[in-house]
Structure 1
Amino acid sequence: MLVISENLAQELVSVEDAIAAVETCFAAMARGDARNYPVVRELVGYADAVYGVKAGGDTSVPFLGLKAGGYWPNNLPKGLTNHQSSTLLFDPETGRASALVSANYLTGVRTGASSAIATKWLSRRDASVLGILGTGGQSAYQLLATAAVRELRRVHAWDPSADNLERFRAVVESLGLEFVAETERRAVAASADILITVTPSQSPLLEKDWIRPGTHISAMGADTKGKQELDPALVASSALFYDEAAQALTIGECQHAFAEGMIAEADLRASIGSVIDGSGEGRRSDQEITLFDGTGVALQDLVVAHLAVQRARERGLGQTVDY
């Protein structure tokens, strides 16, 4: 078995690599070559942790595997990040476990990649101002990935933590971009061509009336029942796109509008994978508000882990252990 450490994973897979890999995977999902299996997600009942397992496979590559891990909210004083996860890959020919990949960085970069892919395919071509709600650990990945697909000039951000905003400011300004820290969420929406929400919120942060025509929104925070970042009326009035429909309606941002009967499954316009491969329709006009419900799927994790394993083997890196 090949073991890839956290530091090595960062060396092997860049933001741009992750965007290309996840984009290919989304298209494979739309073709039916790649499939996510049912998600397990549970409250542990110990250390306030949430634990989950996501699994899937892509027969066109092929690869097969799972990512296990979750959220341990008391980790920071221990010198660890709160999100902890590992990916286990299997040989599709034999079922034998073939690689173990540390997935903390890869989870961050694949999440940024999925948002950026939605921005690439759904936002206006001239979109240049990014607005982001939530400037915690995921925000840098979102920024770097968005900057890889659109020529940004300014970033407006909101976060209840002043420390988070200042750390994010440093990342933004390191890219040579103007940074504006906003005290009101509405001010972020009023300025942005591209809006990204990446928070653990369980109540709406953006209202329908705040959003300008032509805005693209990537809602990335809702990945569990109860999480919510957008007013259901905003969701219902937007052109809706998703990574996986079943997850969008049950654990994603669409869950609330769906539960209230404001949208039906038929109101979901297309998967982002179908937009990529041309079988689904994307943005219809420069005035339309587009919304990508990014719930996060196993295949995103597996495709970046598979890429890391391929590159490690090509370069003779990683640790091979008897298993």
Structure 2
Amino acid sequence: MEVLWLDQEEVKSVVDMHSDMVVVESAFRQHGLGKVQMPPKSYLYYTAYNGDLRTMPAYLEEEDITGVKIVNVHPGNPMRGLPTVMALIILISPETGAPVAIMDGTYLTDIRTGAAGGTAAKYLARKDSKVIGLVGAGNQARTQLEALLEVFEPELVRITSRTRESCEKFIEEMKDLSPCEIRYEDSVQKVCDCDILVTTTPTRKPIVKADWIKAGTHINAIGADAVGKEELDPELLIRSKIIVDDMVQALHSGEVNVPLSKHYISENDIHAQLGEVIAGKKPGRTSEDEITIFDSTGLAIQDVATAHMVYERAVKEGLGREVRMF
């Protein structure tokens, strides 16, 4: 038996943000309709190395595609010359359980997370949003902005990060993609003067204060993806409409996990899962003044849907190499 192996460059060559937003939105819709099997991601914690490892299986029943992602998060890796996040995705045959393809999931994780943020903003942000704010200047900031540019026509992008150098690098790399000015700001508060705010940091202490956020803002909270992480002032969650990607995962490791554990909010304060909004089962934004928050933990359905698209395109183009298993 042989399995198709695809490296990162091959994955990159066949995936684009526009196409991925289509498959990710479809995956969320199936999730909202209850047509997926997806246990919450499981974690191993390597406290001595400030890292963790996660396994993420999913089965999209409507499309009959299944697989699992294995992914790490090690914030100290850049000092070793390695990415903070590295991932491997295995596509499986639902019929036989045999592996069909093994591919790099590092870039795929970045683009599918961006696609989820763009899709959330499509349904939750004001249609006339003109200013985007980015807190964080890493890979996730890049794909989040790329996805938002698929949906909106901003006039200004504000960005801040731990260092001005990282922001200037981001601005240089993104100048050909963004049709508008990308401006460095020296504080998170200045970046919060926006219509759509995206936070992509690994912080465990809130960095966005409630009184910095104006009425009508939409927030993509991307950074909190493990127990104890939070980027937003709990007071902000209290006065916002909260939409999570998956209820079970969010309660455990999303932006809401710390405010829930400290009883600032309850599970009843969570309005919906994104898939329920996309499927029309629950409303999204209902006024121009309400603040909406998308709590993104990252779902295995996003990975499997994207990986399946990559696999089909790679086969069509004759990419990859067959590896004998047995």
> What interval of TM-score do these two structures reach, taking the shorter chain for normalisation?
over 0.9
Which residue is equivalent to 2:169?
167
C-alpha change, 1:189 and 1:261, in structure 2 (3 Å) is same
- Deviations along 1:71-116, whole A, 9 cap, x unmatched? 2344435543221110011100111111101011100001101111
Contact 1:236–1:257 (8 Å) recurs in 2: no
Contact 1:133–1:196 (8 Å) recurs in 2: yes
Which residue is equivalent to 1:312?
314
**Matched position secondary structure for 2:206:** strand
**Matched position secondary structure for 1:203:** coil
Q: How does 1:297-308 map to 2 (within 5 A)?
A: 297-308=299-310
C-alpha change, 1:202 and 1:14, in structure 2 (3 Å) is same
Instruction: Give the distance between the partners of 1:250 and 1:78, measured in 2 at CA.
Output: 30
Contact 2:198–2:219 (8 Å) recurs in 1: yes
* Cα distance, 1:173 vs structure 2: 2.4
Which residue is equivalent to 1:27?
29
The amino acid that maps onto 2:261 is: A
Calculate percent identity across the aligned residue pairs. 34
Aligned length: 322
Which residue is equivalent to 1:57?
59
Instruction: Give the distance between the partners of 1:122 and 1:35, measured in 2 at CA.
Output: 25
The amino acid that maps onto 1:271 is: Q
1:211 aligns with 2:177: no
* Cα distance, 1:171 vs structure 2: 3.2
Structure 1 gap segments, 5+ residues each: none
Contact 1:172–1:178 (8 Å) recurs in 2: no
Instruction: Give the distance between the partners of 1:202 and 1:45, measured in 2 at CA.
Output: 15
Provide TM-score, normalisation by structure 1.
Answer: 0.96
- Deviations along 1:150-175, whole A, 9 cap, x unmatched? 11121001111122101111134222
* Cα distance, 1:255 vs structure 2: 1.2
1:178 aligns with 2:176: no
**Matched position secondary structure for 1:257:** helix
Q: How does 1:228-239 map to 2 (within 5 A)?
A: 228-239=230-241
Q: How does 1:1-12 map to 2 (within 5 A)?
A: 1-12=3-14
The amino acid that maps onto 1:301 is: D
Contact 1:240–1:269 (8 Å) recurs in 2: yes
* Cα distance, 1:63 vs structure 2: 1.1
Instruction: Give the distance between the partners of 2:83 and 2:313, measured in 1 at CA.
Output: 26
Provide TM-score, normalisation by structure 2.
Answer: 0.95
**Matched position secondary structure for 1:308:** helix
C-alpha change, 1:204 and 1:78, in structure 2 (3 Å) is closer
1:273 aligns with 2:259: no
Contact 1:202–1:227 (8 Å) recurs in 2: yes
1:188 aligns with 2:170: no
Contact 2:136–2:200 (8 Å) recurs in 1: yes
**Matched position secondary structure for 1:205:** coil
Contact 1:233–1:257 (8 Å) recurs in 2: no
Contact 1:132–1:158 (8 Å) recurs in 2: yes
Which residue is equivalent to 2:223?
221
The amino acid that maps onto 2:182 is: F
Contact 1:159–1:165 (8 Å) recurs in 2: yes
**Matched position secondary structure for 1:43:** strand
- Deviations along 1:264-299, whole A, 9 cap, x unmatched? 222211111111111111001000100000011111
Contact 1:143–1:172 (8 Å) recurs in 2: no
Instruction: Give the distance between the partners of 2:71 and 2:298, measured in 1 at CA.
Output: 14
